[in-house]
Each structure stands twice: as C-alpha cells, then as structure tokens.
Structure 1
Amino acid sequence: MKRSVIKVLLVILLIFLPVILHQAYRWLTALPDQITIAAGHPEGRYYSMALQLKDLLEQQLGTKVKVIQTKGSLENLALLRSGKADLGFYQPGAEYVLQGFQTEQEKSKPPQQAVTDRICFIANLYSQVVHVIVPVNSEIIKLADLKGHRIALGEQGSGDLAASLPLLRHAQISLEEITPAYLSYEEIEEQFDQNQLDAAILTVGIEAPVLHELLDTGKYRILEIPYIEALTRKETHFDEYEIPAGMFRRADPVVPPQDLPTVACGAHLLARESVSDELVSGVTAIILHQDFSKQLQLNELIEGGNSFVRDSQGFPLHVGADHIYNPELKPFLNSEFVEVTEGMRSFIVSMLIATYLLWRQIQKRREKAKEHKLDRYIRQLLAIEKKQMKLDGNNLSDGPDLQVLLDEVTILRQENLNQFSAHELNEDRATDAFLEMCHALSDKINAKLLGWKIDRLGEKINKSPESDS
C-alpha cells in the first residue's frame, strides 16, 4: 500500500514538474521592478537619450527607470562596476585615455572601494563629434593658436576630457602651455558670456543642446582639425567625420561656412553582465526600432543598421543583446534559464535520490522485521524440539504428547508461510531453511509417534492370547 502511494506521488511530481519549473523560471527571471541608467550632463545627448529610453522601457516593459545625472563616461563606468547602475552610456577609449590623469582636487579624494562586475556591450548609438569652439572674433585661427589661452577641456572623468587630451597631443600642445578649465556645459556657456573663456573642446553628438545654444547665436565658430588621418591612425577610437556646412546656423554667419573635417568616436550603451537577459533584449529591441532612431534623429543608426550598432570596440556583447542581433543563434534553452534552474534541478535530483534511499531503508527495516519474526519462529521450533527429545515413545502418555508437539510444528509452519509471498519464499533462503527444519522435526516426531503406536499395537496383540485362554 505504501509503495503504491510513493509511486502515485512520483507520477504527480513528474506531471507537474514542467509547470513548477516554468513558474519558478518566471519568478526568478522576472524583470526587475526598477533599474538605474547612468546618463551624463542634462545638456548632453546621453541625458536626453536616457530620458527617451526611460519612457519607452516603462511603457513597454513596465519597469520603473531612474536616470542619474553624472559627469560623464568614467563616472558611468564606475557606477556600473559598483552595481549602482544597471545601464550606462560610455565614450570608447575614455578609461584608457584618462587612466592616471587626475587633477589635484581628485588626487586629494580618498580612494573608493568598488565592487567589480563585468561590463558588457549593448549598442553603439551615434557618433560623438569633436568640436573646437572659439568666439567668432577670437584671435585663435587654428588649433596651434590655443597655446597660452584658457581652454575648457570638459569635466573631470568626462568623455569631453578623454577626447581633448589626445587632440592637444596631436596639436603638440601640453597642458602647461594652456590654462585648462574643467567645466560643465553650463559653466562653459556662462564663462563664454562673461569673456572668461577663450575656447572649449566639446565632444558630443551634433544634435546636443549645448552646441545649438552656442552656435545658433552666430557668436562662435568651429576650428578645423589638421592632419586628421594622422590623428585617427594614432588614436584608434577616433574615426574621420565631416560636419556639413550650415549644420548649426544657415543665416550669416553660417556655422560652419563649409564642410568641416573633424573626428568622432562612438557612444556606447553598456550594461552589467548580471543584468537580466530579458531586460537587455528588451532594451536592444527598443533601440533597433525605427521609432526610437527617428525620435532621437539617430541617422547613422538608421543608415548603418546592424554593422553600426554593433561597433563594440573592446567590450563583450551581452547575451541579451546577442539574442536580438542573432536570433537564429539563440539556444533552445535560455542560458539564464539553465543557470537559474541549475540549483532547482540539483535539488529535485537530490530529493529523488533521497526518496529512493529512504524507500530502500524502509524495505530493509521491513526485511529485518521479518527476520525478527523468523527468529521467533525458530526459537519456538527449538523449544518444541527440546520437548520431543524428552519423549521416546516408550511410555503410554508419550503418544498424546508427541501428537500435540506435531500439531504445534504444523501450526508454526502455517503461520510462517502466511507471512511471506511466493516470490519472497523463492528469494529468502532463511525461510527455506526454517521450513526444512520444520519438516525434519516433523519427521522425527512422526517416527517416535509411529514407534509408540507399534508398541501399543504389540501390547494389544500380546494381551489377546491371554484373554482367549
């Protein structure tokens, strides 16, 4: 009966196992209630793009999104690695260029202990173009003229600074030959208005609000960068780029007055490797959708498609993004599902093994219990054998006593046979030995009983002549 119950329970478990695994997978891999995006300065494209992505994620995935204002790429990368941000925008090459570069103010800060997490690539969104901006009436005509002037290079840890430093090296201008200013976009605009700034190097998308706020006024112009091919050869994170004439202002003075060669680098969206594959897949699908590209005027993304958006430059592709870029390579079982259910599968297998071992233990106890009953039968059989040894069949009262012992052996044998099935009798050698002992004892008692009957018959025959005479 108990064995049947165990079998039924195992069948029920196997029937509901897929449902249990599915529900467990949905629970364990559910999209987070809230994620954080490390953006940038409010006047840059990172921030406006983060806000657009926030709205779409909340609408389509139902996940709350928090956008953090930061100083730029290096801070975004640090927030990702420390687990304080799930997604972040990054300018390729920024960490390499800024490694070891710190102002005195930054050097005085205590080092921060960051919890590292592997960073993965999601998408390349647009080109961040290098603009060297000076007042329209400035004496600075070419890049080399920046020497001796106060130049805004971007905030500490920003992509602007990461682009400004190699550009100055390219122009063979050291920081000692200028007065560097590490300013935000707002501070750049304010100091330009107050004539406290001679030039600014901005590395932003050509749709960035700060560019249009400055250049639409007609008060500023953009310097040409010489020897661009040499610059891109030495600084591999830069690509050649051309700003179309009249991009920022088409009334006189036109900005720029003609097509202006410059350089640009990518704008990457990164994520921690531990971020849900489903979430990253949802983010990637939103980015690749034409509505997203059109709303943010990501013309390069629309024209370049897969080849442009996958220009990762050094970061491994996140599994969730790869599922969108290469749907035909998506495994039958989601890697996250396999990882999440691995512990569950181990638990289920362990439970099955434990159930089997418990069942075997119960079986052994049952067998031991049967052996204990057999021992009892054997002890009773030995007691009967001792009794029959005291009876030799010579006394008149031995016959009835022997018959009682013979009946006891028969009853004992019947009780034993009722405790075992035919299969158990065939497999259990101890029971077989017990039955042989019963048969041997029965033969012994029968022999004595037969002798007693013969003696009684002889006595009756001997008494017959005497009765005749």
Structure 2
Amino acid sequence: MNKKLTALLVTGVLVSGLVAGCGGDKKADQKPAAKQQFVNIATGGTAGTYYPIGGAMAEILNKNIPGVNASAQSTGASVANVNLLSTGKVDLAFVQNDIAYYALNGTEMFKDKKVANLKGIATLYPETVQIITLQKSGIKKLSEAKGKRVAVGAAGSGVEANARQVLEANGITYSDIKVQYLSFAEAAGALKDGNVDIAFVTAGIPTAAIQDISTQNPVALLSVDAQQADGLIKKYPFYTKQVIPAKTYPGQEQDINTVAVKAMLVATDKMSDDLSYNIAKALYTNTDRLKSSHAIAKNISKATATEGMSLPMAAGADKYFKEK
C-alpha cells in the first residue's frame, strides 16, 4: 500500500510540474507590449484636401503599426507645416514639393531660415494651380489680370509663391495688380461678394472651396498656356503641366490647361528608419482607404510615390519603395 501511495504522489508531482511548465507561466509566453509612439500629422485647412486625407492616414497608422497613436490636426498648410516640423511640434506633415525645396535650400519664404533636416516619406498627388474668376466677370485670359483685384493666397504661403511665379511667367508683376492676401475660404467669400476679381488656389482637384462657390456662382477657370508653362518649368523644375478635366466643377464645359506642384508627406531626421518604413508600408498597402477619403487620392500609388521628390528620402521609406 505504502509503495502504491508513494508512486501516486510522485506521479501527481510530475503532472503538476508539467502543467506548470506548459501553461503556468503565462507572462513568459507573452510578447512585450509595443512601445507607444505618438505621430502628430499636420494637414491643412478643413476646406482643402490635406485634412480629410490626413485623417484617413491617422486611422491607417493606428490600425496597422503596433504602439502608434496617430492624430491629424488642421493647420495653415505647407509653410506652417514646415515650421511645425522644424520645431518638433509635429512628426509628419503635408507639404508641397516646391515649399519643401524652398525650405531645404533657404529660398523664397525661407530665405535665411533654411530647414536642413527635412526628409521625404512620399509624394502623393498633383496640387493643381487653379485660377478662378466668376463667369459674369467677363475675364477670359490671365493676361487680363492687369489692374484687377487678385487673391494670391495668404501672405508667405505656398499658394502666394505659385501665384507670383505664374503671373511672372505671363509678364505680370504685383505692381500690375491689386494684391489681396487671402486664404482659400476667404478668397471664395471675396469672389462671392464681388470684392476680388480673380483668385489663385493651389490644391488637389476638386477643391471644396471652389465647389462651394460654383454651386451658386458659375465660375470660370483661366488657363496657363503651353508657352508660359514651358518657361515656368524651365525656371522652376518642380512644376509639371496639368489638365483640369471638363466637368470638374459645375458649369465647366472644357478642359483647362494649367500647371501643378506635388503634395508630399514629410518628416525630419528625428524619425527612426523603422518608423518611416512602417509608415510608408502601412499607407501604401492601404491605399483603398486613402482613396475613399477624397477624390484626388485616386492618384496615390506606390508606382508614383517618389516622382517630383524634392527632398532627400527618409531611409526607411526609401527602403520600402525600392522593394519589389
């Protein structure tokens, strides 16, 4: 009896040990939680294209990168976003490729204020230079802008630089016009109210601010002809020729030739290579979600993600785009 009892006790101890070894120490089997990383994304005004796409990006990053807590915030867009990046207040930002070029090289609005540590994550889609007037103004050509009240974008903005350069390509300087420094929304309101004759808007098409005004006030888009576009591109190589297709806006019956820059996603050299790789991978393996956020996002693809890149690439993102 004693031998049998001893054998049963030994067997029980062995079984208990096996159970403990197989499942007793659950902590040893658990993977450590991913380190929390906050990613603040600077976008633009709520009436533009950056804001809704930035919101979709934050959603994608939160769902696909463990430990990442991403959020999109409305800002003053490209120039303001470069300043936010340079001071470390945001980690990722939408910036036009021309503005990124100015910042990197310390020219235009960044004269003597070079931001040398910017890194490109990807180029996204064309930012079309749209030159808007009301049909009732009777203005047919940009050359007719002389003497007119022209909204050129907020002072020191990317739109303002585009307006000045496009006007210059058409032989017009600010001394030839009545300059109005107005944002997208302000320019739309001023057109409605008859306080400006022409407004420049640089954004993905269709642009909400222009759609809004065109529903009640038929608009006309002024073209940048081929000769002026060629001269502009020769001097400023970050521009490309662009067509605004007919029917983009209510009452627009013809294609309009103009120029465009590129929207980019930009970080700084403070972002780790691993994070820039994961951001690029998450976004470009979930482009369907991006495309559902705004019509212009249909242009976002891995095949074109480095076209028009005006900055040194972030190493991780560069690695992702070179993978087959």
Same fold (TM over 0.5): yes
> 2:59 is matched with which residue?
55
Q: CA deviation at 1:57?
A: 1.6
> 1:267 is matched with which residue?
263
The one-letter amino acid paired with 1:89 is F
1:122-141 Cα shifts (integer Å, max 9, x gaps)? 11110001111001111322
Alpha-carbon distance in structure 2 between the residues aligned to 1:326 and 1:260: 35
Structure 1 residues 173, 31: CA separation in 2 closer, same or farther (over 3 Å shift)? farther
The one-letter amino acid paired with 1:291 is D
> 1:245 is matched with which residue?
246
Does 2:90 match 1:80?
A: no
Does 2:241 match 1:236?
A: no
Alpha-carbon distance in structure 1 between the residues aligned to 2:156 and 2:300: 27
Structure 2 residue runs without a partner (length 5+): 1-31
Does 2:288 match 1:291?
A: yes
The one-letter amino acid paired with 1:282 is N
Q: CA deviation at 1:282?
A: 2.4
The SS at the match of 2:137 is coil
The one-letter amino acid paired with 1:57 is L
Alpha-carbon distance in structure 2 between the residues aligned to 1:215 and 1:51: 26
Alpha-carbon distance in structure 1 between the residues aligned to 2:155 and 2:77: 8
Q: CA deviation at 1:268?
A: 0.5
Q: Is the CA contact (8 Å cut-off) linking 1:71 and 1:156 kept in structure 2?
A: no
Q: Which runs of 4+ in 1 moved over 4 A?
A: none
Alpha-carbon distance in structure 1 between the residues aligned to 2:58 and 2:307: 23
> 1:423 is matched with which residue?
none
Q: CA deviation at 1:119?
A: 1.0
Taking only the aligned residue pairs, the percentage that are identical comes to 27
Structure 1 residues 269, 100: CA separation in 2 closer, same or farther (over 3 Å shift)? closer
Q: CA deviation at 1:241?
A: 0.9
Q: Is the CA contact (8 Å cut-off) linking 1:123 and 1:312 kept in structure 2?
A: no
Alpha-carbon distance in structure 2 between the residues aligned to 1:203 and 1:311: 18
> 2:13 is matched with which residue?
none
Q: Is the CA contact (8 Å cut-off) linking 1:150 and 1:179 kept in structure 2?
A: yes
1:221-257 Cα shifts (integer Å, max 9, x gaps)? 10111222232222211101111111222xxxx31x2
Alpha-carbon distance in structure 2 between the residues aligned to 1:205 and 1:100: 23
1:3-36 Cα shifts (integer Å, max 9, x gaps)? xxxxxxxxxxxxxxxxxxxxxxx89xx6543221
Alpha-carbon distance in structure 2 between the residues aligned to 1:117 and 1:59: 32
Q: Is the CA contact (8 Å cut-off) linking 1:154 and 1:201 kept in structure 2?
A: yes
The SS at the match of 1:124 is strand
> 1:33 is matched with which residue?
37
Structure 1 residues 73, 52: CA separation in 2 closer, same or farther (over 3 Å shift)? same
> 2:97 is matched with which residue?
92
Alpha-carbon distance in structure 2 between the residues aligned to 1:73 and 1:181: 19
Q: CA deviation at 1:191?
A: 1.5
Q: Is the CA contact (8 Å cut-off) linking 2:241 and 2:260 kept in structure 1?
A: yes
1:277-325 Cα shifts (integer Å, max 9, x gaps)? 23222221232123134314423334xx42x111253311111212311
Structure 1 residues 100, 118: CA separation in 2 closer, same or farther (over 3 Å shift)? closer
Q: Is the CA contact (8 Å cut-off) linking 1:73 and 1:157 kept in structure 2?
A: no
Alpha-carbon distance in structure 2 between the residues aligned to 1:101 and 1:322: 28
> 1:367 is matched with which residue?
none
Q: Is the CA contact (8 Å cut-off) linking 1:80 and 1:117 kept in structure 2?
A: no
Q: CA deviation at 1:72?
A: 2.1
Alpha-carbon distance in structure 2 between the residues aligned to 1:79 and 1:130: 24
Alpha-carbon distance in structure 2 between the residues aligned to 1:157 and 1:71: 11
1:64-93 Cα shifts (integer Å, max 9, x gaps)? 223332222111112112211110111122
Q: Is the CA contact (8 Å cut-off) linking 1:212 and 1:248 kept in structure 2?
A: yes
Does 2:167 match 1:168?
A: yes
The SS at the match of 2:147 is coil
More strand as a share of residues: 2
Alpha-carbon distance in structure 1 between the residues aligned to 2:124 and 2:78: 14
Structure 1 residues 31, 292: CA separation in 2 closer, same or farther (over 3 Å shift)? farther
Structure 1 residue runs without a partner (length 5+): 1-25, 103-110, 329-469
Q: Which moved more, 1:188-197 or 1:145-154?
A: 188-197
What value does the CA root-mean-square deviation take over the aligned residues?
Answer: 2.6
Does 2:133 match 1:137?
A: no
Alpha-carbon distance in structure 1 between the residues aligned to 2:277 and 2:35: 11
Q: CA deviation at 1:207?
A: 3.0
For 1:123-202, what aligned pairs fall within 5 Å after superposition? 123-202=122-201
Alpha-carbon distance in structure 2 between the residues aligned to 1:34 and 1:288: 20
The one-letter amino acid paired with 1:248 is Y
More helix as a share of residues: 1
Q: Is the CA contact (8 Å cut-off) linking 2:49 and 2:207 kept in structure 1?
A: yes
Alpha-carbon distance in structure 2 between the residues aligned to 1:139 and 1:207: 23
Q: Is the CA contact (8 Å cut-off) linking 1:83 and 1:117 kept in structure 2?
A: no
The SS at the match of 2:93 is strand
Does 2:48 match 1:44?
A: yes
TM (norm. structure 2) is: 0.79
Alpha-carbon distance in structure 2 between the residues aligned to 1:139 and 1:154: 22
Structure 1 residues 193, 232: CA separation in 2 closer, same or farther (over 3 Å shift)? same
For 1:318-333, what aligned pairs fall within 5 Å after superposition? 318-327=314-323
Structure 1 residues 294, 69: CA separation in 2 closer, same or farther (over 3 Å shift)? closer
The SS at the match of 1:134 is strand
Q: CA deviation at 1:217?
A: 3.6
Q: CA deviation at 1:142?
A: 0.7
Does 2:277 match 1:281?
A: yes
Structure 1 residues 92, 123: CA separation in 2 closer, same or farther (over 3 Å shift)? same
Choose between structure 1 and 2 for higher RCO, CA contacts under 8 A separated by at least 6 residues: 2
